[in-house]
Amino acid sequence: MTGGAKASGRGGAIWIVAEQAGGKLAPVSVEILGRALAMAREAGGREVAAVLLGKDAGGLADELASHGADKVFLADDPRMEPYRNDAHGAVLARLIARESPEVVLFGAGACGEELAPTVAARLDTGLGAHCTSLDLTDGGLLMMGVLGFGGRVHTEMFCPARRPQMASVKPGIFPPPPRADRKGTVVREDVAALLEGEKIRLRAVKVVREAPEGVPLEGAEVVVGGGFGIGGKEQWTLLEDLARELSGAVGCTRPALDEGWTPGEHTMIGTSGKTVRPKVYLGFGISGSPHHMVGVKDAGVIVSVNTDARAPVFESSDYCVVSDFRKFVPALIRGIRKAKGEGAGEPSPA
C-alpha cells in the first residue's frame, strides 16, 4: 500500500493528471494545466508537471510540454489503455508517492471524477470536488472553492496537513492557456514496475464513443438553452433554428433532457451537466433553478425569455423578456436575418 505524506516544506511541484482519448488530449487537461502554470507563476516559480497515462501517447506528452509543462511523466503501455480506475489509480498513487508533489489537479470528466477519489483514498489525502476556483496562499495552501446544494452554497476547503493537496475541476471552469511553444522534459515511466504487486480486477472490454450531434457547447460563443417550458420536440426545432442563425450551440435543462427533446446527456447544462461560458446565453422556458444557472453563471450576457413575469430566472439574467418563446423566437430570427442582411440584401424569411 502506498501512503501519502504529511505537509512539509514549501515550493513543491504542481501536477496535473492529463486525460486523453482517441489520440487527443481532453480539453479540461489543458485548462487545468493553464491554472497550474498561473499558480506556479503567482507563487514565484514552481515546477509544473503533467502525468499522462496511455498507449502510444508520446505525441500528446510533447503537446503537454509545449503547452508549458516543465516535465511530463509518461506511462506509455498497453495496460494503460483503455482507462480503468484500478490500473490507472495504482500507477498514479505510486508515482505521486515517489515524487511527492505539493498539489495534484485532476479534470473532473467521467474518468477523472472517479480516478481522483481513488487516488486520494490510496494516499490518504484530501480532495476538493469539482472546484470552481483554485488559489495558492503565500504559505502554499491550496484554497479550493467548491459548491454544494445544487450551486446554492459555496465554501472554500483546504487540506492543512496531508500532501499532496488534490482537487478536481470540471471542464469549462478555467480558460485554456495560450500555446507556449515551450520544450519540457518527457520522463518515460516503467509501467510494469509501477504495477508490480497490484491486483488489476477490471476489464474494459468495449469503449463506445458516439460522435455528438450538433455544435458542441464547449467553446460556443452563443448558447441557446431550452427548458421544460418549450413543451415538445416540434417546438424544440425553433431553438435549433435560432442557434443555427447564430452559429451557436443548443443546451438544455434536466426536464427538457428527460422529455427526450434533445440529442442527449451531453447537451445538459448545470450541476450534473456542463459548465458553459459563452459570450451570450439565451434561455427559453427555463425557470432559473440554481441547478441549471450554476452552469451558465460565467456567461458574458444572459437573456431570458419566460411567460411568467415572476419567474426566478429573471433575477439571474441581464435582459428579461416576458413573452411566449413561440412568438419571440421567430421574431428574433427575423431580426437577426435582417441585421445580417443589411448591406448584403434581404434573405428570404423562414
Ligand X SMILES: Cc1cc2nc3c(=O)[nH]c(=O)nc-3n(C[C@H](O)[C@H](O)[C@H](O)COP(=O)(O)OP(=O)(O)OC[C@H]3O[C@@H](n4cnc5c(N)ncnc54)[C@H](O)[C@@H]3O)c2cc1C
Write out the three cell numbers for 272.
450534473
- What are the C-alpha distances in Å from 289 to residues 139, 174, 236, 264, 323? 38, 23, 20, 20, 19
Residue 236 φ then ψ, to 5°: -60, -30
Question: What b-and-e string marks burial along 253-283, b requiring 16 or more CB atoms within 10 Å of the CB?
Answer: bbbbbebebbeeebbbbbbebbbbbbebbbb
CB-wise, 63 or 132, nearer to other proteins? 132
Among 110, 121, 153, 202, binds ligand X (CB under 6 A): 153
Shortest distance, position 155 Cβ to other proteins, whole Å: 5
Interface with other proteins in residues 161-200 (CB under 8 A): 161-162
Shortest distance, position 106 Cβ to other proteins, whole Å: 12
Interface with ligand X in residues 260-299 (CB under 6 A): 268-273, 284-287, 289, 291-292
Binding mask 256-295 for other proteins (x = CB under 8 A): ---------xx----xx------xx-x------xxx-xx-
Binding mask 323-342 for other proteins (x = CB under 8 A): x---xx-xxx-xxx-xxx--
Residue 303 binds which entry of other proteins, ligand X, none, with Cβ cut-offs from 5 to 8 Å by kind? Answer: other proteins
Q: Is 225 in the site for ligand X (CB under 6 A)?
A: no
Backbone dihedral region of 161: left (phi > 0), alpha (psi from -120 to 50 degrees) or beta? alpha
CA atoms within 13 A on the CB side of 329: 26
**Other CB atoms closer than 10 Å to residue 85's CB: what's the count?**
17
Q: Is 157 in the site for other proteins (CB under 8 A)?
A: yes
| DSSP 3-state of 271 | coil
Residue 307 binds which entry of ligand X, other proteins, none, with Cβ cut-offs from 5 to 8 Å by kind? Answer: ligand X
Q: How far apart are the first and last CA of the chain?
A: 65
Write out the three cell numbers for 235.
417546438
Q: Are strands 280-284 and 133-136 parallel, antiparallel or unpaired?
A: unpaired
Measured distance CA(302)–CA(279) in Å, rounded: 9
Interface with other proteins in residues 201-240 (CB under 8 A): 201-212, 221-222
Q: Is 155 in the site for other proteins (CB under 8 A)?
A: yes
CB-wise, 51 or 108, nearer to other proteins? 108
What is the binding site for ligand X (CB under 6 A)? 127-129, 146, 148, 150, 153, 155, 157, 227-229, 253-256, 268-273, 284-287, 289, 291-292, 305-308, 311, 324-326
